[in-house]
Structure 1
Amino acid sequence: MSTKKNGSEALFNSMINQGVKYVFGLPGAKVDKLFDLMEHSDNPKAPKLIITHHEQNAAFIASGIGRLTGKPGVVATTSGPGVSNLATGLITATSEGDPVVALGGQVPRNDIARLTHQSIPSKELMISATKDSVEVQDPNNLSETFANAYQTAMAPKSGATFISLPKDVLDSEVTVPEIKELSPIKQGSANSEIVDQIIDKIKNAKLPVILAGMRSSSEEVTEAIHHLLHKFSIPVVETFQGAGVISRDLEKNYYGRVGLFRNQIGDAILKESDLVLAVGYDPVEYEARIWNVDRQGEVINLDSIAPEISNEYQPDLVVQADIAKTMRDIAHNLPADISLSDDMKSHLHQMQLSFLSQDEVPAEDPKKGVHPLAIIKELQDQVDDDTTVTVDVGSLYIWMARHFRSYKPRHLLFSNGMQTLGVALPWAIAAALERPEKPIVSVSGDGGFLFSGQELETAVRLNLNIVQLIWNDGYYDMVKFQEEAKYGRNAGVDIGTVDFAKYAESFGATGMHATTNAELKDALKKAFATPGPVVIDIPVDYSDNSKFVSALLEEY
């Protein structure tokens, strides 16, 4: 005889069956039974409930889990504003390919159409923010709904899914068993005829270039790209979300990152290439209307999903298949003696010398603050290849994307689809949970940090070893320097000053100031040796930001 269970218990068991490790969110009356089960379960496989200070940040942490692991992070909230506060986090996850399952409480079914307390059309609200948004009407459907949401979130292109959970559905009896662990989603390689076509194009190209996009950043695809490069050494340009695809031993193949302003070495080499192999590339990262203009070469689009076709992006060959398997087949079938011409190798070497010279730290001027290149150098000197660095949006993320090196995929995280402020600290919390033995660094501007800075208490409560750098200048500077470039003045960007070291201490974290290069070097050493979260407040010198929009592609 089976034991009776209600909808909350069926949903809880379903999360266990799918191996969910954490659930992030805020409590409320519509989901209190589900939270009670997670908080007090003695099942060692039960997901750990982690309470945050805002639903948006809970969604960010869940999306960080999704990006790091490839499996959906889970966020749960109560009804009404608990659900609506998820919107930005879920839109960001869906845009940037991060799998998330969001659970939102809802009023009882007979109140959904009434103007009652916290009654909103949750399912309809989330349709535009997710891959799929549903509302459960029968408690016996809870487990299969969760399983389908979980699978949909993972399926290419990964993203967020949303389940609206009426209170009476969670309270009602369930009479069917839960869905068991799902089988992995598998794709096959491109067929041999297509692989031969790709190889012919590569053999006939003078300068084939790999554009490594967001879906190239899985471990399997990255290893396949490495396998090809060991056989045929060609340039690789990373998108921001493709950061880390190039390993340290293949650094000679690294030609920068593209994702904002068409004036980098990566832009120059894409323009010059007569064959771009776009691997896992998504236009939300860097629109083709920016990098694929005035080009004469061909484009091969290799991805697990079909590309979005536009006037600026009409690939000559579209291959929808398992990326890693197809890349390995290409590498295996390339001629053993394939190589770029000596003239091309010499040309590329000169481009790289120019590229490397851009990392030089200018002379220090303590009156202005610490230069971004000095911050990056001191950080680069302190981290290793296993360090996860999460980067917020703002002027700092342009500097970090252009100059900070990372040699493992999904160890340098950017938001470049939605450019969403406030992601760095929540993502760092996700990284500290998933990689507890590895160093974790969060890099934010003062404006971006204040979007989610309250989660510093969450990091303190969980005793997470996170080093948080704050580039502090008192402005929304990414807007400021662009306004000044366009209009000769700025407007609406002054956000005042905050002492972030004191802010950190008020949450129980360690706070530090670093006003010179030497102080920053010392602060970083101390921070990495200090248990728990550490915040370093750095006055930043953004006087060179004007070069972002004034430098011309031809200079490279």
Structure 2
Amino acid sequence: MRALRMTIMTGGQAVVAALRAHDVKVVFGMPGVHNLALYDALCDAPEIQHVVVRHEQAAGFAADGYARATGRPGVAITTAGPGATNALTAIAEAWSDSSPVVLIASHIESPYVEQERGFGHELRGQLDVFRTATRYRARPMHVREIVPRLADAFAEAQRGRPRPVIVQIPQDVLNGSAEVDVPEPAPVARPEAAASMVRAAAGILARAQRPAIYAGVGIHRAGGHAELLAVAELLDAPVFTTAQGKGAIPEDHPLAVGNRWTGEAELIKFLSESDVLLAVGTRFGATDTSQWQLRLPAAIIQIDADADELNRNVPAEVALEGDAKTVLSQLLRELEGHPVDRRASRRMEVEELRQSLDVTAASAWPEPMRFLRDLRAGLARDAILFCDSLVQYWAARHFPVFAPRSMHLPWTFGTLGSSLPMAIGAKVAFLDRQVVALCGDGALMFTLPELATAVQARANIVIVVCNDRGYGAMRMHQRRRFGRFIASDLATPDFAAVAEAFGARGLRVNSANELGPALEAALTDTRPVLIDVPLALDLPWR
């Protein structure tokens, strides 16, 4: 790698130099006594925007939201001890959903690490706390080690299946000075699959009479949307998605089934009647397959960047390890040179099923379906939506997504309160796009102070709160299992008034049917806007 420069720097300046080298435009965090040398160095880096949060967990979530929306690593900064551990839940969420988050945490002075000598913010094994939630962990013990360890961290965050990483830097190392070399980062590898395996997969797909595609979050992480659509159109294959794969192709495309099939017997039957399934960037997880009770086609071709996920949950006739975008390009080239058997188009079946199920859902759940329809109608095609709590299950099935990386859910780890700070992270990246956080009142209380973060960062997001004055999902589950419930009613504040107190705009509607005009007003405001909507939800399946 070619050296960009070598000069005397403090440890804090070395961190900033590494961030510049990796073209980092924004970081999320808060200062503490152990990382002040890093913050002082950021004063001389106006090209790197710093978004100060109200809790370190929000720094991790905002970095994750930035990463999910952009496809680039998000960066969070915390101080030592509780500052670092406060971010752990957000880092675990990023691990669960394969998101490239780089956490830069400080620590006590290096001579006393792991000794429990009674220093403030001291935690023995602080780095080990993150072992199960990060791919890479490093603790530079000298200023000259900072840049190479951060280079390793950025590379590991983006290698294959994206994962979060942590670099923990002791206070004296950030404060110290040394001659530092800042090399140019190596390009991110996009590995191909074995050519022989690609040929085998292409042969199976070319002979298939009823092929289908199943796309997961891996398609978004790889950015292989154009290649996926080209393969789908060449094969005339319906595209099913996981909840996190929504938007893999526009959901108004004639081949788009989306994710609502997971709750509809007719669409499950439609999937099972396919003779070959091309699975891209999905691990067939328990949540997405009803604990593997889902009826799948007999032949499965699986593409995944993580070799450990190939054949883990379902057996694949052909397993292709590699970057989804790259492997789809390989497959497309092979298919274009391969005679594809003539087959009856399935587009009419897809359209008839979609229309039938739309009518059925609107009849079964008129209020939530109108709410989602009004939300979709009021937003631009490329609006970015973050969800958490019970409403995410409704959005996953019934909110159409038209643009890549424009709908995000904490689907597996399922952290309540993540949508607000994640939305801030995305809005900072995309100032010209609409960004919405859709959550419940109970979930919002987890991270409500981050409204102040949004105001200070001039991140004019819209927060839509489905307010049933409690933990509605817990009420529902307790009633179904035991016929009664406890600890699920909440004394919630006047959210609109709280928003105004933070310097945002607060709106309150009397029913979910009034969302449309409120949303229109919110989207024209230059401030963050919170819309309080009275809406109680059940699960969106029959």
Q: Does the pair score TM above 0.5?
A: yes
**1:397 aligned residue:** 392
Contact 1:271 1:292 in 2 (8 A): no
Instruction: Sort the Cα spacing of 1:522 and 1:181 in 2 relative to 1 into closer, same or farther, 3 A.
Output: same
The structural deviation recorded for 1:138 is 2.3
Work out whether 1:204 is the aligned partner of 2:207: yes
**2:135 aligned residue:** 131
Deviations 1:124-150 (A, max 9, x none): 111112112222222211110011011
Deviations 1:232-252 (A, max 9, x none): 22111111211111225x622
- Give the match's secondary structure for 1:199: helix
Q: Which residue, out of 37, 42, 50, partners 1:33?
A: 37
The structural deviation recorded for 1:546 is 5.4
1:433 partner amino acid: V
**1:9 aligned residue:** 13
What is the CA–CA distance in structure 2 between the aligned matches of 1:299 and 1:469, rounded to whole Å?
A: 39
Instruction: Sort the Cα spacing of 1:219 and 1:532 in 2 relative to 1 into closer, same or farther, 3 A.
Output: farther
- Give the match's secondary structure for 2:306: coil
Work out whether 1:450 is the aligned partner of 2:445: yes
What is the CA–CA distance in structure 2 between the aligned matches of 1:265 and 1:86, rounded to whole Å?
A: 42
- Give the match's secondary structure for 1:537: strand
**1:251 aligned residue:** 253
2:237 partner amino acid: I
Contact 1:258 1:286 in 2 (8 A): no
| Gapped regions of structure 2 (runs ≥ 5) | none
* Displaced runs of 4 or more, over 6 A: 361-364
**1:271 aligned residue:** 272
Contact 2:34 2:108 in 1 (8 A): yes
Instruction: Sort the Cα spacing of 1:363 and 1:109 in 2 relative to 1 into closer, same or farther, 3 A.
Output: closer
What is the CA–CA distance in structure 2 between the aligned matches of 1:186 and 1:141, rounded to whole Å?
A: 27
What is the CA–CA distance in structure 2 between the aligned matches of 1:515 and 1:348, rounded to whole Å?
A: 37
Contact 1:221 1:324 in 2 (8 A): yes
The structural deviation recorded for 1:294 is 5.0
**2:111 aligned residue:** 110
Q: Which residue, out of 349, 368, 374, partners 2:370?
A: 374
2:448 partner amino acid: G
- Give the match's secondary structure for 2:259: strand
What is the CA–CA distance in structure 2 between the aligned matches of 1:440 and 1:104, rounded to whole Å?
A: 28
- Give the match's secondary structure for 1:273: coil
2:371 partner amino acid: I
Work out whether 1:435 is the aligned partner of 2:430: yes
**2:514 aligned residue:** 519
Contact 2:512 2:535 in 1 (8 A): no
What is the CA–CA distance in structure 1 between the aligned matches of 2:265 and 2:443, rounded to whole Å?
A: 25
**1:143 aligned residue:** 147
Contact 2:301 2:318 in 1 (8 A): yes
Work out whether 1:326 is the aligned partner of 2:322: no
What is the CA–CA distance in structure 1 between the aligned matches of 2:297 and 2:165, rounded to whole Å?
A: 40
What is the CA–CA distance in structure 1 between the aligned matches of 2:95 and 2:522, rounded to whole Å?
A: 34
Work out whether 1:357 is the aligned partner of 2:346: no
Which one is further off, 311-320 or 22-31? 311-320
1:323 partner amino acid: A
**1:529 aligned residue:** 524
Contact 1:190 1:326 in 2 (8 A): no
Deviations 1:195-235 (A, max 9, x none): 33112222333422111011112574110011122222211
Contact 1:10 1:174 in 2 (8 A): no
Instruction: Sort the Cα spacing of 1:34 and 1:297 in 2 relative to 1 into closer, same or farther, 3 A.
Output: same
1:208 partner amino acid: P
- Give the match's secondary structure for 1:360: helix
- Identity value in percent: 26
**1:299 aligned residue:** 300
- Give the match's secondary structure for 2:244: helix
The structural deviation recorded for 1:519 is 2.7
- Give the match's secondary structure for 1:242: coil
- Give the match's secondary structure for 1:373: helix
What is the CA–CA distance in structure 2 between the aligned matches of 1:508 and 1:257, rounded to whole Å?
A: 37
1:357 partner amino acid: V
The structural deviation recorded for 1:295 is 4.3
**1:554 aligned residue:** none
Instruction: Sort the Cα spacing of 1:456 and 1:358 in 2 relative to 1 into closer, same or farther, 3 A.
Output: farther
What is the CA–CA distance in structure 2 between the aligned matches of 1:254 and 1:336, rounded to whole Å?
A: 24
What is the CA–CA distance in structure 1 between the aligned matches of 2:204 and 2:116, rounded to whole Å?
A: 62
What is the CA–CA distance in structure 2 between the aligned matches of 1:110 and 1:389, rounded to whole Å?
A: 46
Instruction: Sort the Cα spacing of 1:362 and 1:17 in 2 relative to 1 into closer, same or farther, 3 A.
Output: same
What is the CA–CA distance in structure 2 between the aligned matches of 1:278 and 1:2, rounded to whole Å?
A: 47
Contact 1:132 1:162 in 2 (8 A): yes
The structural deviation recorded for 1:288 is 5.0
**What is the RMSD of the two structures over their aligned residues, measured on CA atoms?**
2.5
What is the CA–CA distance in structure 2 between the aligned matches of 1:356 and 1:331, rounded to whole Å?
A: 33
The structural deviation recorded for 1:190 is 4.1
Instruction: Sort the Cα spacing of 1:34 and 1:284 in 2 relative to 1 into closer, same or farther, 3 A.
Output: farther
What is the CA–CA distance in structure 1 between the aligned matches of 2:219 and 2:22, rounded to whole Å?
A: 25
Instruction: Sort the Cα spacing of 1:310 and 1:456 in 2 relative to 1 into closer, same or farther, 3 A.
Output: same
Number of residue-to-residue matches in the alignment: 533
Deviations 1:429-463 (A, max 9, x none): 11111110111111111011111111111111122
What is the CA–CA distance in structure 1 between the aligned matches of 2:293 and 2:270, rounded to whole Å?
A: 11
What is the CA–CA distance in structure 2 between the aligned matches of 1:285 and 1:26, rounded to whole Å?
A: 37
Work out whether 1:173 is the aligned partner of 2:177: yes
